[in-house]
Amino acid sequence: MSDIKVKAVKPGLYGGAYRKVGDVFLIASKDDFSKRWMEMEDRSPVQETSQEAQKAYRENATAELDNLGNALAGNPSAAPEGPASSASNFDGMDDDALAAYYGEIIGEKPGNMKRETMIKRISDKLNAD
């Protein structure tokens, strides 16, 4: 029998992996199906990775785009380094350093802007360029 696509409706373990609510994955047979925490899924594409892993992949890709944008702009040292998400790249920066970086990228002082807003605007600007 071919694999069966299911969706986790509660957290559970299958195939040596922790499955969170919403994860779609394949089970080997109907004998592996658990009504307690799985439901049969339609024929949409299978997500073999967890939602957290997919989010981390997207954030890492965004960080790499940020670094590439800075390099193409001739300012590679301005980009926060590391493979983590763009938001976590800024975690190591104090408020003054973040404000200075914001000024370099955006071209204006942030004033009393929240860190999250500065980070979002910097990321948006770098991704748009």
Structure-token pair, residue 118: 């500065």
Q: Sign of torsion, CA 43 46 50 55?
A: negative
pLDDT at 92: 73
Average pLDDT on 33-55 reads 74
pLDDT at 6 (0 to 100): 92
- What is the pTM for the complete model shown? 0.34
Taking 60 as the threshold, does the pLDDT of residue 99 lie above it? Answer: yes
Label residue 46 by pLDDT band (50, 70, 90). low
pLDDT at 61 over 70: yes
